[in-house]
Structures are given as structure tokens and as C-alpha cells.
Structure 1
């Protein structure tokens, strides 16, 4: 589990491609301080497992499902990536509950500066905006952000200067593809309430109302 608070920006050293999979070697510093084989590290919001590491980089595999469902297949050597280690049990929730299981991708439609904030409009499928509400949480490329405007196929998020400078968003141009993970609580609530019977006059009468 993650929180969406990016620890550092790593750099892709090598991309070993197969037909529907790849292995990424990423240079980093902070996330390597206590790394072990089998550890989970979120790369642009995608939970990956460390398969090898050195003092300056780690390697992780990207399986076919992740290859097709995320933006990782578009990475090339030299690209920056947002990195976060899995949360420790005694850690702080600086962001929100993030699983590292990406729901889909979005396209940066527009970036603009408003006072000290950077507004980013994201174009995405309606099945993704379905889980978005104003002031709700969303994870974009592994970063915990707050939604402040929702339309059928577009949302807007606002980044404070620190988040913009300390993540890859400062390098992202309009048209770039980003990973999206919706709030897991919203998905669970929808799943549970979908099984409930509709609130009808007969239902109320049966329960004494």
C-alpha cells in the first residue's frame, strides 16, 4: 500500500522490451536506502516488485496486463519517473490510500498557472470520471491529488509549487499520457451498494416505516 506522496524522481536507465512485457532499470537514491529483493516500489503509480538492485539502481518486471493498461510501455531511457516505497505500518498518511493498481490512463489536455498553483485538465474515459467528485482524492502518475472540477470526460486537479517541482509533472507536456488510480473507497462503496434493494414504498412498509 502507498500514500501517493512521491519520495523522489528516478531516471529510467534501461528498458528491456519483449512483445507484451518489459523490464525497467531505474536509477534512484532514496528508495534504495533499505531496498530488498521482493520489495514493492510504485513507479508512476504502478506497484512493481524489485527483482534486482545495485547501490544506484533497481530493476522491476512489467507483466502483459500492466504493459497494456498503463503508460509504462511508453517509457524510454532518460525519462523521469515518480517513485514511492510501500508504506511502513507505522508511517503517516500524508496523501490517501493508494494500492498501486492503475485503473486506466488519461491525457493531459491543458496546463495553466493560476497564482502559485498549476491547474492540469485531464481527459479520460467516463468510466474513470465516474468515481471522481469535487474535493475527492485521485492518484495521477502515483501522486495523490485533489479533484476540484469534474465533467463527463475530464477532470481538473491543482498542484502546489512543491508537488509540481518535486515530481515529473514539471516535465509533462500537454498530450502526455498519465496513469490514473481512482479512490479505492469509492469503488468499494459502489460495489457494496449495488447489491442493495431499491428504496420503495413496499420496502419501507415491510420494515415498519
Structure 2
């Protein structure tokens, strides 16, 4: 599990691409490597990946074809920077909201309005996910826990404070870029439950 509080922005050292499997070599610093064991879970742009191996040069993560098909990790190249969060440990402060690291879809950045102190990002995503995206609700974007602002038919906005702009890559990508989104599990459960109840009433 994760909290959506990004711990570091980390550069991709290199990517080895094989059929159906890519391996990311990540330039983790000493702090991120502390007590990092083989098999540990680490979120990359909100995607839960498992430590495959590590050496003095890098920490390595395997990315399967299904993950590449659903997330923006398929857009990454050597030298790109991604948001990193290590798995939540018992006793850690839950500063954001609970995340699984299982990305539901990607959203496309369609506009950015920024000034010296903050920025507003507007995204478009598949209309099928919009029923779970509600004003003042939670969403994870590239692994960062954010509160939703305005919501339209197929778009939504989030607002970035200075701290978020500095500590994440959210405000560094060009318009047209894809971002990973994980919707709030509690919101999804409530919406799906209400839909089932209403459908059952209509049938009866």
C-alpha cells in the first residue's frame, strides 16, 4: 500500500526492452535504498513495481506488458524522471490517502494555468471513469495524492501548491502528456454499490 506522498523524483538510468518485458534501472540514492530488499514494492508514477535486483549502479524493476499497456511507463525513456514512493510501513503517517499502486487508466494534460505560487492542471480521461471523479474527492495522479477541483463531462482539474510543484514531476510535463490515475477505492465502492442497488430495484 502507498499514501500518495511522493518521496523523491528519480532518474531512469536505462531501460532494457524485451518482448513483453521492460527492465527499468533506477538511480536510487542512499536514503531510498535504506533497508530496500529484494521483492520490495516501490511506486513509480503511481505504479507498484517489485525490486528485481540491485547493485552499486542502480535498482532494477521489471515492467510487464500489461502494465506497459495501461500506464505511462511505456512513454518513458532513459534520462526521464519519475515520481517515487516506497511502500507504506506499519506506524507510518498516512499523509495522503490509501493507494494500491494499481493504476486504472491514463489521463491527458490538456491545459495548465500557472503563476509564481500555484498552478491549475486540467486533464481529460475516458468518460467511463468520470463517475468516480467527484469535486473535492481524492485522486492519485502519477502517484501523488491530490484533491479534485472542478469536474466536467470528460475532464477534471487539480490545483498544485508550491510544495507539490517542487517535489513531484506533475508541473514539469508538456501539454498532451499522459499521466497515470488511480481513482479512490472508497469512492469506487460507493458508486458501484449504489449502481447495483438501483439496478436491482429497476429489475424488481
Report the TM range for the smaller structure's normalisation.
Answer: over 0.9
CA apart distance, 1:134: 0.8
Partner of 1:42: 43
Once the two structures are overlaid, the 10-residue window that deviates more, 113-122 or 33-42, is: 113-122
Residues 1-209 of structure 1 correspond to what in structure 2 (within 5 A)? 1-29=1-29, 30-55=31-56, 57-114=58-115, 116-196=117-197
Question: 1:74, CA displacement in angstroms?
Answer: 1.1
What is the root-mean-square deviation in Å for CA atoms of aligned residues?
1.8
Unmatched 5+ stretches in structure 2 = none
In the TM superposition, residue 144 of structure 1 has moved relative to its aligned partner by 0.5
- The 8 Å contact of residues 105 and 179 in structure 1, kept in 2 or not, is answered as yes
Structure ID, larger Rg: 1
**Compared CA separation, residues 120 and 41, structure 1 to 2 (3 A):** same
What secondary structure is seen at the aligned counterpart in 1 of 2:93?
coil
SS in structure 1 of the partner of residue 197 of structure 2: coil
Cα shift at 1:191: 3.2
Q: Which runs of no fewer than 5 residues in structure 1 stay unpaired?
A: 204-209
Asked if the contact 1:31–1:83 (Cα under 8 Å) also holds between the matched residues in 2, the reply is: no
**Does structure 1 conserve the Cα–Cα contact (< 8 Å) formed by 2:122 and 2:156?**
yes
Q: Displacement, 1:56? A: 5.0
| Inter-CA distance 199–44: structure 2 relative to 1 (3 Å threshold) | closer
Q: For residues 69 and 43 of structure 1, do their structure 2 counterparts lie closer, same or farther at Cα, with a shift above 3 Å needed?
A: same
Structure 2 vs 1, CA of residues 123 and 195 (structure 1 numbering), >3 Å: closer, same or farther? closer
For residue 101 of structure 1, report the CA deviation from its aligned partner: 0.3
Structure 1 runs (4+) greater than 4 angstroms displaced: 197-200
Q: How many residue pairs get matched?
A: 201
Compute the displacement of 1:174 (Å).
0.7
SS of match in other structure, 1:133:
coil
